Structure 1
Amino acid sequence: MDILVQPLNRVIRVAPGANLLEALRAAQVPMSYSCLSGRCGTCRCRVLAGDVLDGGRAQQRPLDGMDGALLACQTYLTGPCTIEVPAPQEAVVHRACIVKARVAAIEPLARDVRRLLLRPAKPLAFSPGQYAQLTFAPGLSRPYSMASLPGQELLEFHVQLMPRGRTSAHIAGRLRVGDAVRVSGPLGAAYLRPRHAGPLLCVAGGTGLAPILCVIRGAVAAGMRNPIHLYVGVRSPGDLYGLDWIEQLRRDHPALVAHIVVASGANPATQRRGLVTQAIAQDIASLHGWRAYLRGTPPMVETTTLVALGKGIDPMHVHADAFYMQGN
């Protein structure tokens, strides 16, 4: 049975029922992966033609609205098909692991946001923009994105305090310096692609600023000179944080342009009123050749994705992980 792999334009022969990720690895097709269980979303690709058996839907939420999107590790080949994989030079492999860590600091960042610093017992390999599952006690576990860069001494996370959120309440009220935390990861497909030379659109809603800071910090550390357009959206000025970090990044990366968008109560001298989608629609005529990194709530990610697609961005160049607020 023949499988056409794009954009490599390679045909590989597999047996019916073969797992797609295993078939790609056996054929030495460069492919990102991590957890091998359908949780991390790293092995995302797309079916262009033909049929496959997609076993990942029960484990993975809809993949950002991308038509034909699937997870290679959860996909089984049932007939000839055409599969689109990310560019080979963008493949990363950080095997998922569990790292023990201790709380180094808990600091307020905004009205309902806390900065959590963890000291891991050993380094956690990840790419800028990914996230990890933090477990504090049985029943107290949530995914949070790294704001720190790989290789730094401390892992940094930004925690949104949620109404009736047991995990965030534990972090804000009961967690203490020195407490043990289990870090599982890395997870997520919205990691920095450092080989891209075109402009970057970086959009953060609320604590989505953490992974977006990590992406931009990673671009600076990698020596990327790309124009970067950063849009930070919050509901009110009291939800805003990280302005000093953004200013430092502007000094480090002169091609960074930052837009602070506040839905209500914006300071007209330094902020824009409205939604990030409205600001992007007003500012940018075309996103052809751009990469987009989107982090925030599902409605923000979904509407921003639609705006980006409407302005000509390649769907495979929209890198997004939405924050789902239900649960702990």
Structure 2
Amino acid sequence: MSYTVTLSETSDKFDVQPNEPILIAAERAGLQLMHDCRFGGCGACRIKLLDGQISYEEPPFGLTEEEHNQGYALACQALPLGDLTISAQLRPAGFISADYHVATIQQLEMLSHDVTHLVLHIPTASEVSFHPGQYLNIILDDGSPRSFSMASPPKGDIFDLHIRRVPGGFFTSRLESHYQVGDILDVELPLGNFRHDVDSPQDLLMIAGGTGLAPIKSIIESLRSDPTTRRIMLYWGVRRSEDLYLDELLHQWARELPHFHYIPVLSEADDQWQGARGYVHEAVCRDHDDLSNFDAYLCGPPPMIAAAKRELSLRGISVERIFADSFNFTHELDGSVA
């Protein structure tokens, strides 16, 4: 026995088998729903249930309790319990599929005690269009991927990455001891659905945790010369002042760009720190009671994303206007280490 799922936007219908995720059934029917990690971590495949019920084998951590209570579900994990009507976003007609390329390490330097600046030269990617905010995969010798957001905007064949060292991580630890300028890496790009909604008239609230700054930086840099850019407020949360590896650059941008505001936030500040303290989403909430004029762009670890989503929705930002890139790609979710 199968169930029928109907897309409210297009009236398309497809069948799904019991205990089969909605995303898998949609793909079998030739419908490309928006998605990314497939593990329930990123939230990119979020749909809204208009009629019917679903279940999960395990609650996905890419969906907050507030989103669940409002009728949202993640298509990659949701199992229908009967016929459904859903609202879902399809991949646009001009969607750019990822492809494989050969990259050369052009620059390799430490930005801080645990963040490496990796610059890749990818000649065959010079004509590849990607959206600021997307990421690429570095493919290791065993074929496993390591995912890193592109910190630079689309500008030809040079790609910047900010890579935080993961304790015990195979790839990130070898960046310091094994790889050197001139080495060759296999890469896959572009990937991911995190990007700026260029058609929105709202101001931009950007919240980054650690190296979650990378895709946020790509978006901001792509908007620097745009005269129509609305106000941009960037809150960057790290533990200590030495973790603010691009602090000087961001302060410079704040001085140069009248529409850009930068607030660094330390969760483990010492007595010398004169700026914002605590968790980054708490600093946002202290500064703003009403955020209804903003779209929110969040990038960082899953607990930060979940906490920020919850608090921002209480201050006037609808779930549909909160865009998130949670740092929990496939290689982290399936148990391997970066």
Q: Is 1:322 the equivalent of 2:326?
A: yes
TM-score in terms of structure 2 length: 0.79
Q: Is the deviation greater in 316-325 or in 295-304? A: 316-325
Matched ranges for 1:230-309 at <5 A: 230-250=234-254, 253-263=257-267, 264-265=269-270, 267-269=272-274, 271-309=275-313
| Equivalenced residues, count | 315
| CA-based RMSD | 3.5
Q: What is aligned with 1:62?
A: 61
What letter is aligned with 1:218? S
Q: Is the deviation greater in 89-98 or in 120-129? A: 89-98
Mapped partners of 1:40, 1:298: distance in 2: 8
Contact 2:54 2:78 in 1 (8 A): yes
Gaps of 5+ in 1: none
Contact 2:153 2:221 in 1 (8 A): yes
Q: What is aligned with 2:46?
A: 45
Q: 1:75–1:61: structure 2 CA closer, same or farther, 3 Å change rule?
A: closer
Q: Is 1:82 the equivalent of 2:85?
A: yes
Mapped partners of 1:23, 1:317: distance in 2: 29
Q: Is the deviation greater in 42-51 or in 272-281? A: 42-51
Contact 1:90 1:193 in 2 (8 A): no
Any idea what SS the aligned residue of 2:224 has?
A: helix
Pairwise CA distance, 1:118: 0.2
Mapped partners of 1:290, 1:89: distance in 2: 24
Q: What is aligned with 1:20?
A: 26
Pairwise CA distance, 1:220: 3.0
1:94-147 Cα distance to aligned partner (Å, 9 max, x none): 202212111000011112111000001311432111112212433774211100
What letter is aligned with 2:157? E
Q: What is aligned with 2:11?
A: 11
Any idea what SS the aligned residue of 2:193 has?
A: coil
1:6-51 Cα distance to aligned partner (Å, 9 max, x none): xx4x43344566933576859xxxx65689x779969623132345
1:215-237 Cα distance to aligned partner (Å, 9 max, x none): 21223355542111100111111
Mapped partners of 1:227, 1:91: distance in 2: 30
Q: Is the deviation greater in 126-135 or in 62-71? A: 62-71
1:68-108 Cα distance to aligned partner (Å, 9 max, x none): 33247x8898864332234x898861202212111000011
Q: Is the deviation greater in 38-47 or in 283-292? A: 38-47
Q: In structure 2, which of residues 215, 230, 236 is the aligned counterpart of residue 211 of structure 1?
A: 215
Q: 1:16–1:135: structure 2 CA closer, same or farther, 3 Å change rule?
A: closer
TM-score in terms of structure 1 length: 0.81
What letter is aligned with 2:104? R
Give aligned-pair identity as a percent. 27
1:203-261 Cα distance to aligned partner (Å, 9 max, x none): 11111111110121223355542111100111111111112332343356421111011
Q: Is 1:194 the equivalent of 2:198?
A: yes
Contact 1:106 1:116 in 2 (8 A): yes
